[in-house]
Amino acid sequence: MSESNTIALLIKGIDNQFFQGMLKIYEEELKKIEYSFLIHAVGEDQDDASVALELTKEKRLKGIIFLGGLMRYSQEKLNMLGIPYVLCTVAVNMEKPRRNSLSVSINDEKESYRAVDYLCKKGHKKIAIITGKESDYA
């Protein structure tokens, strides 16, 4: 069986408003190159790689984009995917390069400092932060 022109978006935290704008952009950009995409919610307690592996077999995917959360994965399973994948807005240790993969992330501490510094320079004095659980590294 040959692969399709479908890219899967595996989303942990699908109700996150941050992702809503991203989904529209993914759809528009993939449509430009005649690709389709499917959205699949991943539960907080699920192994992302197992979900991806199963979906790859079922849907003959061209690639996968992982969005959100602290990725629980098995490197062996990711290697078994056999298709390119991107870790985007995913907290995962990427010290070693992985075959067929890319990672998009930021330095949270540095960018948080920049944001607060900017607000201070604009004269703001009461600055709040809204966070998740302390154990959530995303």
Predicted pLDDT of residue 93: 54
What contacts 91, CB < 8 A, 6 or more positions away?
69, 70, 71, 105, 137, 138
| pTM (whole model) above 0.85 | no
Helix (H/G/I), strand (E/B), else coil: 42: strand
Decide: 9 and 40 in contact? Cβ < 8 Å. yes
Residue 41 pairs in a beta bridge with 11
Predicted pLDDT of residue 10: 92
Q: Is residue 75 part of a domain?
A: yes
**Which DSSP state fits 47?**
-
| 17-37 per-position pLDDT tens digit | 778 888 889 999 999 999 999
| Position 129 confidence tier, pLDDT thresholds 50, 70, 90 | confident
With residue 83 as reference, give the H or E element that holds it: none
Nearest one of 45, 64, 38 to 53, comparing CA atoms: 64
Q: Is residue 134 part of a domain?
A: no
- Number of structural domains (the chain) is 1
CATH of the domain at 89: 3.40.50.2300
- Domain housing 32: 6-106
Amino acid in position 97: P
101-104: strand order across its sheet: 36-42, 6-12, 63-67, 85-88, 101-104
Q: Is residue 128 part of a domain?
A: no
Tokens at 17, concatenated: 């408003």
| Position 75 confidence tier, pLDDT thresholds 50, 70, 90 | confident
| 41-64 per-position pLDDT tens digit | 988 888 888 899 999 989 999 999
Q: Is residue 129 part of a domain?
A: no
Amino acid in position 50: S
Torsion over CA of 24, 28, 30 and 33, rounded to 10 degrees?
A: 180
